[in-house]
Chains A and B, each alone.
Chain A
């Protein structure tokens, strides 16, 4: 979850007439988790579906609603203008077909605002921009740009001075030497042409989705902004633009339109949409009995507008709230505006009778039986390593099921057997007193186009007199008392067990497992200095 750092005094100024405590008490009820607080500064986590909460301007809008300072929709006032034109050339169609934009004038940006805007940009890129693949954004100093602009492509030898640089370098150099170039260059594929926005004098404004030109850098002296968004899809690009437009208007800028044309591109409207929701769906879902006016006032506290028409509530949703898909999203908006803390939990008697799954019942009775036999239950991960599963126990791997890119070396493959894990457990307990007797029941995995999951049961006994007879007696009793079944054993050779002290476990003529004395090679691998006997049987097909 993304994190944003805020200042209480700045928030108070933006929200108006509220105390610091009112703010800190309300943040969680907007869905914002306070991660840490330090005097005036507070770090909060917000959901990636609410990119408007990536700045204190957006959070202030939410707080105003919840605290009743200002409610209802935030309307975008976009002044029509013919001064700002972008024409789109056919060459971009196959690479990054859409561009959109807006102009924001007569505002002031201090260091904190710049920091907030940068953070918002990064969060938009990561979340709805899908790491800049779907859409990406550039914010520029308007006064450094000569309109009209052209959105076109250029070759990789095209040169300009990119952001945070002092000298002119080529597109290829940007992609191979800068951090952003290395991180996002792959989005451009192998194409020899790359997208570029050029101004009237052929000066580079932006090289989307990688980097802006240095000349348009926004500083505290900047008063007028130009925002462009490029992307694979017109709607996604406009969604992103609407968040920025709303935030900039809230920050005190006046918005002016940008005219866009060419190759299915058009000027953004950033209009609100209407969704209707039946009040009975709201009341049923929340377990409340609210009348229309209460529903409407709750929606307004969530910074939406609504009117009632019969039992329907017709809701107006600003363009930056593209997280709202349909009626159920409005149910949540009502709940938030109403206040989650005002929802009193109720408990109606259950209409259903609960049941434990029969498999769980059987496994639990097996646990009880094993405890009666003096065995302690162990739990190991299903995701383990080749070392434990094969190397230490001398087992020969067949079809290993491995996971991709594990961050942990000890967790790279799925276990096909439980016993090796128990032996590893013994090796970690050589300083503890003997006898040591442990068992485990759990899932094992086998390749079966794609995978079959079975429940196995394994146990080990380690002490100075441990022998085959003991472990066979134990398993025989466990299965007889646990499930009323009778097993037989038949000589076999296995790399983990000692020859002549190893057998298959047979139930009704079918082999279900192995039992025996662990051989000295395995024991020595684990530096265990005491005899160990053990078994493993499959429960899935024949017993459970």
Chain B
């Protein structure tokens, strides 16, 4: 296995090969790296299983106040013995010269039979070369030493004396190389980096995934010879319902399905001829009193068909392929399946090409271009088309046929009152359903949550 190492890692490995057991402080010295570099290097190597880090506790010893004084002036008993060097002395003199250490020094000296004392004076009995503790005192001096560096027997006497020795418990790390690190080859060249390592994530700016689907569908329609028309989302009931032969007492027109705009009524809804002929068609075929005030009520369009039919009524083309793409609204409870506002596309074909089989052919081509090949057509019902079909597409994931677009030929009861003489074939449906299949989403609300976690991660081409 060939691995690339950072310079820091290399220096640590080399140093540990020379001296297999080191503390971070020792590594700092041997590699000339900063404490932070050592810390990072050890961490990296540990993650790669190349070093072992063992943590241990050690006692460190240094001199306390009395210890330091003794280091400078000698131990109290040494000072006592020094004063007796030239013969016996009076107790009161010794007391004066030794001060506060007179008591302790006398105690120790008498206990060890270094001196002899009567009521007036004190003299040396035998004077040892080294007093207990003296070596250790010198060894420690101004330093801090670990247990292993000190003769513990010699230390123990000092430990029992007040404020002679200070003991600190210190945690230390010891770094060693693991077995696998022993055969690692370190490349000679410096400046190489770990190209296999993980790098931070950056986020691309992008168009919204649903917008991508809308653009894709727009492009397919244009390629199939359709031209895009735009229209308002707010429409009079006349264009959303009446012109499409939906009777005014039809359940689809009720508040619970359609968003009516509060106190909004359109003054001008169409030409007087359009209004007269549409109302006549309703009265004759649906047998009720048509009310123009009902037709004036403004709604949020429930389908893009309102835009299409208005366009056709204005232009009355002999030959045309047009489409409209945009938001439509339904007064529904929002759920993972339903939104109150979603996108719909609708295309119409007017003229010679306008046969049901041809419309089926256009649809088959459309689905092929969005990657759906397994489709079939079933009859269905829409109030404004006759015949009416729906496309069923096979969803591999669900293992069943699901309904997508609807299609049909506009009823003469729709076209004739508006002066449209050529047959009009329409097809279309919701976009979010297609986009859900494309992005493998189970909750349609995700498209409008603007959740950066999803927007930053959804794959653009699927």
Chain B contacts for A288, CB-based, 8 A: 357
Interface residues on B, range: 35 or more
Q: CB distance B412 to A326 under 8 Å?
A: yes
Task: Please choose the segment from A205-213, A379-387, A520-528 that sits at the chain B interface, where 4 or more of its residues have CB less than 8 A away.
Answer: A379-387
Q: Does A380 contact B448, Cβ atoms closer than 8 Å?
A: yes
Determine the main DSSP class of A at the interface with B: loop
- What is the CA–CA distance of A73 and B235 in the complex, to the nearest angstrom? 43
Q: Is the CB of B378 within 8 A of A345?
A: no
Chain B window 251-266, contacts with chain A (Cβ cutoff 8 Å), 1 for yes, 0 for no: 1000110011110111
In the complex, are the beta carbons of B380 and A351 less than 8 A apart? no
Contact in complex: B341, A352 (CB < 8 Å): no
The answer to whether the Cβ of B274 comes within 8 Å of any Cβ in the partner chain is no
Minimum CB–CB distance from B363 to chain A (whole Å) comes to: 7
A-side interface size class: 35 or more
Q: Which of A30, A284, A287, A327 has the most chain B CB atoms inside 10 A of its CB? A: A287
Nearest neighbor of B332 in chain A, beta-carbon distance:
A407
User: B355 and A287: CB pair below 8 A?
Assistant: yes
Docked complex Cα distance between A243 and B451 (Å): 53
Q: Provide 25 A-B residue pairs closer than 8 Å at the C-beta atoms, listed in order of the A residue.
A: A48-B251, A131-B251, A134-B249, A236-B287, A325-B411, A331-B386, A332-B386, A341-B377, A346-B360, A347-B364, A348-B361, A352-B225, A352-B320, A352-B321, A354-B321, A355-B222, A356-B228, A359-B230, A377-B211, A378-B208, A407-B340, A425-B450, A433-B203, A445-B234, A450-B265
Give chain A nearest CB distance to B410 CB in angstroms.
9
Residue numbers in B under 8 Å from A450 (CB-CB): 234, 261, 264-267, 298
Q: B364: which A residues are within 8 A, CB to CB?
A: 345, 347
From B206, B267, B361, B449, give the contact of A377 (CB < 8 A).
B206
How far apart are the CA atoms of A352 and B362 in the complex, in Å?
14
Residue of A nearest to B235 (CB): A451
Bound form: Cα–Cα A284–B288 in Å: 33
Residue of A nearest to B260 (CB): A404
Stretch at the interface among B50-58, B94-102, B127-135, B452-460: B452-460
In the complex, B24 has a CB within 8 A of chain A: no
Which of chain B's residues has its CB closest to A450's CB? Answer: B264
Query: A126 near B: Cβ within 8 Å?
Result: yes
B371-412 vs A, Cβ < 8 Å mask (1 yes, 0 no): 000001111110100111100100000000001000001011
Is there contact, CB below 8 Å, between A443 and B381?
Answer: no
> B353 within 8 Å of A by Cβ?
yes
Central interface residue in B205, B222, B233, B354, by most chain A CB within 10 Å: B205
How far is it, in angstroms, between the C-alpha of A433 and the C-alpha of B452 when the chains are bound? 9
Let me know if A374 is at the binding interface, CB within 8 A. yes
**Is chain B's binding surface mostly helix, strand, loop or mixed?**
mixed
Q: A332-B386, A377-B207 are in contact. Are A406 and B234 (CB under 8 A)?
A: no
Residue of B nearest to A235 (CB): B287
Q: Determine which of B221, B260, B357, B448 lies in contact with A344 in the assembled complex, contact meaning CB atoms within 8 Å.
A: B357
* Closest chain B residue, CB of each to CB of A336: B379
Bound CA–CA A403/B332 (angstroms): 13
- Asked whether, in the complex, the Cβ of B261 is within 8 Å of the Cβ of A451, the reply is yes
B356 in contact with A335 (CB, 8 Å) = yes
Asked if residues B227 and A406 are in contact (CB atoms below 8 Å), the reply is no
> CB within 8 Å of B: which of A350-380?
350-357, 359-360, 364, 367, 370-380
* CB neighbours of A402 from chain B (8 A): 261-262
- The answer to whether A401 touches B262 (Cβ under 8 A) is yes
Most buried by A among B298, B333, B340, B386: B386
Contacts of B262 in A (CB 8 A): 401-404
A286 touches B (CB below 8 Å): yes
Which residue of A126, A329, A371, A381 is within 8 Å of B448 (Cβ)?
Answer: A381
Interface presence of B223 (CB below 8 A): yes
In the complex with contacts A235-B287, A405-B255, A438-B233 CB distance below 8 A: no
Taken residue by residue from 189 to 211, chain B's Cβ proximity to chain A (1 for < 8 Å, 0 otherwise) reads as 00000000000000101111011
User: Complex: how many Å from CA A131 to CA B252?
Assistant: 12
Cβ-closest chain A residue relative to B341:
A381
Among B224, B228, B285, B389, the residue within 8 A (CB) of A355 is B228
Taking a contact as CB atoms under 8 Å apart, the answer to whether A451 and B264 are in contact is yes
A345 touches B208 (CB 8 A): no
Which one of A33, A327, A345 lies within 8 Å of B360 (CB-CB)?
A345
Cα A381 to Cα B287 with chains together (Å): 39
What is the bound-complex CA distance between A359 and B285, given in angstroms?
Answer: 40
Q: How far is the CA of A182 from the CA of B380 in the complex (A)?
A: 34
> Contacts A335-B379, A354-B222 given: A378-B387 contact, CB under 8 Å?
no
User: Which partner residue on chain A sits nearest B229 by CB separation?
Assistant: A357
Say yes or no: B331 contacts A407, CB within 8 Å: yes
Interface residues of B in 278-318 (CB under 8 A from A): 285, 287-288, 298, 300
A147 at the interface (CB under 8 A from B): no
Say yes or no for B88: interface residue by CB 8 A criterion: no
Q: Please tell me if the beta carbons of A354 and B224 are within 8 angstroms of each other in the complex.
A: yes
A413 (CB) vs chain B CBs: closest residue: B262
CB distance from B406 to the nearest CB of A (A): 12
Contact of B456 with A376 in the complex, beta carbons under 8 Å: yes
With an 8 A cutoff between CB atoms, is A28 at the interface?
Answer: yes
Verify A345–B357 contact, CB threshold 8 A. Answer: yes
- Chain A CB within 8 A of B114 CB: no
| Set of chain A residues within 8 Å of B352, measured between Cβ atoms | 351
* Pairwise interchain contact B255-A343, C-beta atoms closer than 8 A: no
Contact of A340 (CB < 8 Å), options: B227, B334, B379: B379
| Structural contact, A432 and B452, CB atoms closer than 8 A | yes
- Indicate whether B423 reaches chain A with its CB closer than 8 angstroms: yes
A235 to B286, CA, bound (A): 10
With A336-B379, A348-B353 given, is the CB distance from A403 to B456 under 8 Å? no
**Is B412 in contact with A328, judged by CB distance below 8 angstroms?**
yes
Contact A286 to B357, CB < 8 A, known contacts A345-B364, A355-B222, A383-B341 = yes
Residues of A within 8 A of B219 (CB): 356
Report yes or no: B331 in contact with A405, Cβ–Cβ below 8 A. yes
Cβ-neighbour of A379 out of B218, B229, B450 (below 8 A): B450
- Residue B149 lies at the interface, judged by CB distance under 8 Å to chain A: no
Q: A287-B358, A352-B227, A402-B262 are in contact. Are A453 and B232 (CB under 8 A)?
A: yes
On whether the beta carbons of B225 and A351 are closer than 8 Å, the reply is yes
B208 touches A347 (CB 8 A): no
- Is A49 in contact with chain B by the CB < 8 A criterion? yes
Q: Which of A28-45 contact B (CB under 8 A)?
A: 28-31, 33
CB-CB under 8 A for A406 and B377, given A130-B249, A286-B357, A335-B387:
no
Besides A130-B250, A347-B365, A376-B456, 6 more A-B contacts (Cβ < 8 Å) are A127-B251, A325-B285, A335-B356, A347-B362, A350-B225, A372-B205
- The docked-state distance in angstroms from the alpha carbon of A405 to that of B258 is 9
Distance between Cα atoms of A406 and B256 in the complex (Å): 8
Query: Is A321 an interface residue when CB atoms closer than 8 A count as contact?
Result: no
Nearest CB on B from A458, distance (A)? 13
Interchain nearest-CB distance for B18 vs A (Å): 43
Please judge, given known A-B contacts A49-B381, A340-B377, whether A429 and B228 are in contact too, CB under 8 Å.
Answer: no
Asked if B230 and A348 make an inter-chain contact with CB atoms under 8 angstroms apart, the answer reads: no
Q: Contacts A411-B341, A453-B232: A403 and B331 contacting too (C-beta < 8 A)?
A: yes
